[in-house]
Structure 1
Amino acid sequence: MRHSDVTGDDGTWAGLCLDVRDGGRRPGLCVFRAGQRLLLSQLSRPVLLAVVDEDLQGVDFWRTDGYRSLVPPLRADTARALAGSPQRWAHRFARHLAGAAEGPLHEGRWLLSYDSPLARWRHPGDSHARHWRSMLVEGHPDGYVDWFLHAHAWEILPLRPVPDADDGRVKAYRKQARDGTLPPVLLWWVSGLDCHLVLDGHARLAAAIAESVEPAVLELRRALPRDELAAGVEEAVDTYERELARFAGLRSVHGSAVPNGAAVAGPELARRLHHLHTAQRPTWAWPLPGGEERWRRIARETTGGTAWPAASYGAPPAAS
């Protein structure tokens, strides 16, 4: 895996681009699809079952206890050494993602972004605790992601229950939250659920909420494929050169009072290139072998036969 830093329009660090070349291998943490039913599986362990509403207003989910974090426990001395440097944390998490057989990375380009929209949604009158608590999707083992009331609200769906504020791990992280050394929370944007999944940092997120501080987050998402990126860059550069040529023609007619166009075309080129390098693409979902019938069988086994959701995994209705 190759990686390179991504900067914003103002030159500040915005994230890390991960270029994965694995020959199309299916990842260990994988989204499968069967009609409107989804299965998140980690090394063949069911982690999350989901059913999208027929009217596309939300998704019912059932969360198992099968998820295993991709990141080993973070030591306090490491947290102090990397405190305040999301760039160094991004490189560290990228190494764990690249080496994790149970992770979500597969062939293509990815962005590990520090510029998450989650913090920007906070109302000035809301405390950090209230805002981030409102971002959490509740329910265990089952719950509902409401797309109607929370359209594009960028909610967070933990892959295991978020521990209480008095949990031992959370207490240790609360001190780091107060000291400003709390490591980032690692999130994965999954478009089929229209929300973020917590890959690592459930206890750290709980600590930040308990202390009412804004948690640092690093958001993993798919980026433009290499061919689309190359075509987009070529088009942006062609547009830039044509604009400079247009200004040159005006200068030849009207003289040097006409600007050379760089002050206009240059920033626009920079914006287009930044957008191309940071634009996201939908999450890949693999067809579930065995289709809906297999999904229903996994649902029965996972839920212990619970009728969840009631109309979703019984036998298909007979044709009339």
Structure 2
Amino acid sequence: MQRSDVTRDDGTWVGLSLDVRDRRQPELCVFSTGPRLLISQLSRPVLLAVVEEPLQGVDFWRTDEYRSFVPPLRADVGRALSGSPQRWAHRFARYLIDSPGSPLHEGRWLLSCESPLPRWRHAATSHAEYWSSMLVEGHPDGYIDWFLHSTSFEVLPLRPMPGPGDSRVKAYRKQVREGTLPPVLLWRVSGLDCHLILDGHARLAAAIAESVEPPLLQLHRTVPHDDLAARIDDAVGFYEDELERFAELRAVHGPTVPDGAATAGPQLTRLLHDLNTAEQPTWAWPLPGGEEQWHHITREVTTGKGRLPPAIEPEGGNGPVAKAPTVK
């Protein structure tokens, strides 16, 4: 994997670009069959979901099988890297590529500190209230409401959030007060239209308990290499066309017409920056066995777990079934 820092024109660090090669299917993988989704980690079902028609939300069932690929982060590491999202990004990038259970697959990714989530908090709303409202509730089942939370991209924990009395949360609350809390690692999954917590459930709980904005690192796909050169050519072509258009206007109306560089130059800069940062849809792999396999897996992980949401209810009910084939 190749890593490169992404910065703005003024040198402000935006994120870390990850160029992943020879990794065709990730170990934390999104599978799809029609409106049904399955997120699987190391062949273990983590999340079952059904997109509701007419695209107003998602019913989900969360298992307790998710395991973070990030090892426990010691307090001395938090102090050493505090205040440097860039250094944290390089550290998390190493875990993403080297540890089992990561969502990385071949292509270009961005690990960025510029998540859109903090932007929507109203100044009169406390951090505790806002971030609590952004968490998708429910375990093992719940609902991601696209209608109520349109474009707000809520945060879906991959395991139940610990309470303020949890020992890990208490330890992290001390780091919050010291200003050394490690960032929460999020993965933007377009098929769910929300962010999944890959690592940092207890850290987010600690930030909410202390009513401070949690430090975030967001992972998402960016423009793949196959498209990058063509899109750069398009952006440069647009810039050249604009300069030519202004030149023609100057030839007719005289030198009072600007040469266009002051307008086209910043546009070109924005276009080139977006090619390194713009989010691309999350890849989903066809589920082997299709809808029938999805129902098999659903029966296996939900049998004996009580009444299920109608959308998740497997065909044939919750009666005993043969062991479902493992997803590979």
Q: Corresponding residue for 1:15?
A: 15
Q: Distance in 1 between matches of 2:256 and 2:53?
A: 62
Q: Bigger CA drift: 222-231 or 34-43?
A: 222-231
Q: Bigger CA drift: 7-16 or 28-37?
A: 7-16
Q: Distance in 1 between matches of 2:238 and 2:258?
A: 17
Report the TM-score, using the length of structure 1 for normalisation.
0.93
Q: Corresponding residue for 1:118?
A: 117
Aligned CA RMSD, in angstroms, stands at 1.8
* Aligned-residue identity in percent: 70
Q: Deviation digits for residues 283-312 of structure 1, max 9, x if unmatched?
A: 111111111111111111101254522354
Structure 1 residue 57 and structure 2 residue 56: aligned? yes
Q: Distance in 1 between matches of 2:248 and 2:149?
A: 51
The alpha carbon displacement at 1:315 in A equals: 4.3
Q: Corresponding residue for 1:77?
A: 76
Q: Deviation digits for residues 145-186 of structure 1, max 9, x if unmatched?
A: 111111111100000111111111111100110111101000
Structure 1 residue 93 and structure 2 residue 92: aligned? yes
Q: Corresponding residue for 1:303?
A: 302
The alpha carbon displacement at 1:255 in A equals: 6.5
The alpha carbon displacement at 1:70 in A equals: 1.3
Q: Deviation digits for residues 38-84 of structure 1, max 9, x if unmatched?
A: 11100111111111112221111111111110111111111111111
Structure 1 residue 43 and structure 2 residue 46: aligned? no
The alpha carbon displacement at 1:260 in A equals: 3.9
State whether residues 141 and 309 of structure 2, in contact with CA within 8 Å, keep that contact through their aligned partners in structure 1: no
Q: Corresponding residue for 1:203?
A: 202
Q: Corresponding residue for 2:165?
A: 166
Q: Corresponding residue for 1:314?
A: 315
Q: Corresponding residue for 1:157?
A: 156
Report the TM-score, using the length of structure 2 for normalisation.
0.91
Q: Distance in 1 between matches of 2:266 and 2:122?
A: 31
Q: Distance in 2 between matches of 1:221 and 1:9?
A: 22
Q: Corresponding residue for 1:232?
A: 231
The alpha carbon displacement at 1:313 in A equals: 1.6
SS in 2 for 1:181: coil
Structure 1 gap segments, 5+ residues each:
none
Structure 2 gap segments, 5+ residues each:
318-328
Q: Corresponding residue for 1:182?
A: 181
Q: Distance in 2 between matches of 1:257 and 1:140?
A: 66
Q: Which amino acid aligns with 1:314?
A: E
Q: Corresponding residue for 2:102?
A: 103
Q: Which amino acid aligns with 1:15?
A: G
Q: Corresponding residue for 1:212?
A: 211
Q: Which amino acid aligns with 1:285?
A: A
State whether residues 27 and 101 of structure 1, in contact with CA within 8 Å, keep that contact through their aligned partners in structure 2: no
Q: Corresponding residue for 1:270?
A: 269
Q: Distance in 2 between matches of 1:265 and 1:37?
A: 44
Q: Which amino acid aligns with 2:314?
A: Y
Q: Distance in 1 between matches of 2:249 and 2:149?
A: 51
